[in-house]
Amino acid sequence: MNRIDRRFKQLKTEHRKAFIAFVTAGYPNLSVTEKLILKFAEIGVDIVELGVPFSDPLADGPVIQESSQEALKKNVHLIDILNLVKKIRKITDIPVCLMTYYNPIFCFGKERFIRKAKDCGVDGVIIPDLPPEEDRSFIRCLNKSGIDVICFLSPTSSLERIKFISRVSRGFIYYVSLTGVTGMRRNLSQDLISNVAKIKKYTRKPVCVGFGVSSRFQVRQIYRFADGVIVGSAIVKKIKDNIGAPDLVKKVSAFVKGLEA
């Protein structure tokens, strides 16, 4: 049982839902990312999702795309992010997932990535452009090393797909609340409740909802029927709005605390 599993077990015992915060690693720099992770752990964020900057993202909307481009301009690479996780592991036990694409892992070396990620204290990986049936051996090796491979389901997922992902996903199931890329939305999908209920018929694993969540009201709505919520673009936008401010970490953390309070 790794940190993700332990956190969800703890949340279930306490009758609480998970709040998962996404930030782009290295935006605006790795020092700020480190401070944000530590502050998130302090204010009660349950899991941190660290976005690995990539030049050709499949699932990211404009806000996260821009943050990735800025991080890439500063030469933030996968090895830097892994070393950052290792550094924060000396201070906090908060579960950390990497949200990355397959290309950075492939270029880094799959076996090397597994060894390094395990050594640094990574708990899970989310790889939007790697369907689990496409590289089964890599996914088996990740899971065997104690790193959860977190898989997606969406509004267009068939019943067959729901059953398959329910079997192979580890840690939790990431439910994409809408068709399209990440980004803040004013309203949640009308069929969100029924789609999550459908998934939960076939799995005991936690189902967490992401994509489009940007307000405290939406977080509260999702808590009623899902096991957790993932907020990304709204947090990254708050970082962007405060770049250069000496109290950036304080302001972003206050915003996150307001979302999950």
Residues with active-site annotation: 49, 60
For residue 175, the SS3 value is strand
Give the single-character DSSP code of 190: T
Q: How many residues belong to the chain?
A: 261
Q: Is 189 exposed, middle or buried (0-12, 13-18, 19+ CB in 10 A)?
A: middle
Rounded CA separation 232/45 (Å): 13
Rounded CA separation 92/95 (Å): 9
Q: Which of 43, 2, 47 is nearest to 23 (CA)?
A: 47
Instruction: Return all residues near 35 (Cβ < 8 A) that are at least 6 apart.
Output: 249
**Sign of CA pseudo-dihedral 78, 84, 90, 92:** negative
Instruction: Return all residues near 164 (Cβ < 8 A) that are at least 6 apart.
Output: 132, 133
> CB neighbours (10 Å) of residue 167?
12
Q: Which of 4, 86, 42, 103 is nearest to 252 (CA)?
A: 42
- Find the helix packing angle between 78-88 and 110-120, rounded to 10°: 20
